[in-house]
Structure 1
């Protein structure tokens, strides 16, 4: 049930080697819809593949189309009747799972051992992503965008689902964030989305911390009740979401937790050399958990974005036509200047 890119496609060939290649047309299967891509959001993993040719243990061996944050419009509906009709604005679900393993049956399909994610070199052959003019997509992997929500903002569906999954982990392990004091370390796109969703979920307060001023200003726009520059004193927190992936931020988050607090690690930490005061987990009886991608669908998050659109639009800070992909990548790697950067594939859609 793969997604197949067609037309111009942003292809990574190796470290610092990008190409916008033209891929040939492919006949659609009976369960495939044809989607005209409008926007693709640049994620940290896309940047890592471009900058170093690898993301953690996923090492680029062959050319691969990037991108897993994709929205567009159905050009041709799947002929078997699955999925939405032609003309429907949609987000593309990035994950293909087996649906049969214990994890899938338990509603934790993000842990499926057979999972393939768009734009990932975790397996070989690599799984091409969605940064292309058109995609052939199995109908069941298309999520309609709520009426009235523009595609530019809907492009946040995948990272917002990642943020929502982190809140769901806090709910499962420690009764969630309602009425509690929340700390978010790292005000990049995921951190900002956690800030917005925590506020919507009824947190008593949401404090964001970051190295840079601009993302902190954005955090206030999306619902933070306070912001603190990295290195300054933080208020005590009941629940901390570490979204930067920096070992120092992990240490700060642990230190800020009250006894009985919970830490959800959302950012991808380095594979080696991480030191943090984990001993605090014993004396304070802290709960520590990771949060990987997201489980289930994206429809609930899209509905939240549609209802609170003004909180989410500031997170998208720039869009570039696909011809300027390298400029877009350079902008996305500068956290002091950008939050979510989009590639635009159809300039007629806004």
Structure 2
């Protein structure tokens, strides 16, 4: 039988079983080796949803995963049993106006694994085995641990943020960069900023433990703004010192600090998702700042896998906790504790 981690409602997470799937034409089955908890999983569990998106039926969590090919369906080429793959959870429709315009990130009918946006919900990856389209499986190089391969999805989110930054501000090389928030997305943005040659990378957060992970992956300076409320003041001098900011905290005070510390004509990429938030537009306008949105990923998933395969980034410290799939309830409690966890993953059965 196939073990699954299924959420039935607010704070009602259960380990259950269901029959194992078979690979249809164009599909493969993947034995999940590692699957990570994302902020959306945590919100589904703690709040029963995210904003207007509510969990309305039981849903298997998880959209960050890697595993080994278990079987190959008719017509599939280039994948074979035993091969480790990172799985892209994003499946645009290909027919809406955004897909036809080459902007599938904004697909009107996007199916995204582990998402409660539509009914029926799109079931996720936290299970022993899943059937999925072969095109959503990206081969992972020999020697890459499944736990690092399962970071492909959040790394793709950050790689998209880099795409948006460079479209506006040019190459990251030589720039002074601020990253606000040292959760999983923040620390992966740090790793990418280091990889692309930032001259200085300052990271802020409220927790020393997660800031230490940011330091390990490439931060040149960390500031605990709970312990040092004025810690960013040196970078606010002379209209701001940072060329580029990745705002990953989704906290209004962090965005205000980012605006204060960014130099005139600098760029702030809003990665964290927040609700309606007061913004000091007078400063934004006076300094002619670029405030840029970023959302999910497109080609960046493949780019993220290439980075993982090249071992170009120090990703091991990002995965702070690993649990067996049977320990999902314990694992999600740890994942929800920002004082100790960055990325928490589940490993499953024989494939791990």
Distance 2:351 2:136 in 1: 24
Q: Is the 8 A contact 1:107 1:296 kept in 2?
A: no
Q: Is the 8 A contact 1:68 1:94 kept in 2?
A: yes
The residue number in structure 2 matching 1:338 is: 341
The residue number in structure 1 matching 2:174 is: 179
Offset from partner CA, 1:91-146 (integer Å, 9 cap, x none): 11101102233433444321111111111111111111111110001111111112
Distance 2:219 2:29 in 1: 39
Question: Residue 215 of structure 2 is aligned with which of 217, 220, 223?
Answer: 220
Q: Aligned to 1:50, what secondary structure does the other structure show?
A: helix
- The normalised TM-score by structure 1 is 0.94
Q: Is the 8 A contact 2:157 2:300 kept in 1?
A: no
Matched, 1:246 2:244: no
The residue number in structure 2 matching 1:3 is: none
Distance 2:268 2:79 in 1: 39
Matched, 1:304 2:312: no
Between 206-215 and 223-232, the greater mean CA deviation after superposition = 223-232
The change in CA–CA distance for 1:60 and 1:321 in structure 2 (over 3 A counts) is: same
The residue number in structure 1 matching 2:51 is: 56
Unaligned runs of 5+ in 2: 236-240
The residue number in structure 1 matching 2:155 is: 160
Distance 2:138 2:313 in 1: 21
| Cα displacement (A) at 1:86 | 1.4
Between 162-171 and 53-62, the greater mean CA deviation after superposition = 53-62
Q: Aligned to 2:281, what secondary structure does the other structure show?
A: coil
Distance 1:182 1:241 in 2: 8
The change in CA–CA distance for 1:136 and 1:260 in structure 2 (over 3 A counts) is: same
Q: Is the 8 A contact 2:31 2:351 kept in 1?
A: no
Question: Residue 230 of structure 2 is aligned with which of 216, 229, 232?
Answer: 232
Distance 1:107 1:202 in 2: 30
| Cα displacement (A) at 1:149 | 1.1
| Cα displacement (A) at 1:281 | 1.6
For residues 60-139 of structure 1, the aligned pairs below 5 Å read 60-82=55-77, 84-139=79-134
| Cα displacement (A) at 1:307 | 2.9
Unaligned runs of 5+ in 1: 1-5
Q: Is the 8 A contact 2:48 2:54 kept in 1?
A: yes
The change in CA–CA distance for 1:57 and 1:176 in structure 2 (over 3 A counts) is: farther
Between 320-329 and 302-311, the greater mean CA deviation after superposition = 302-311
Matched, 1:266 2:261: no
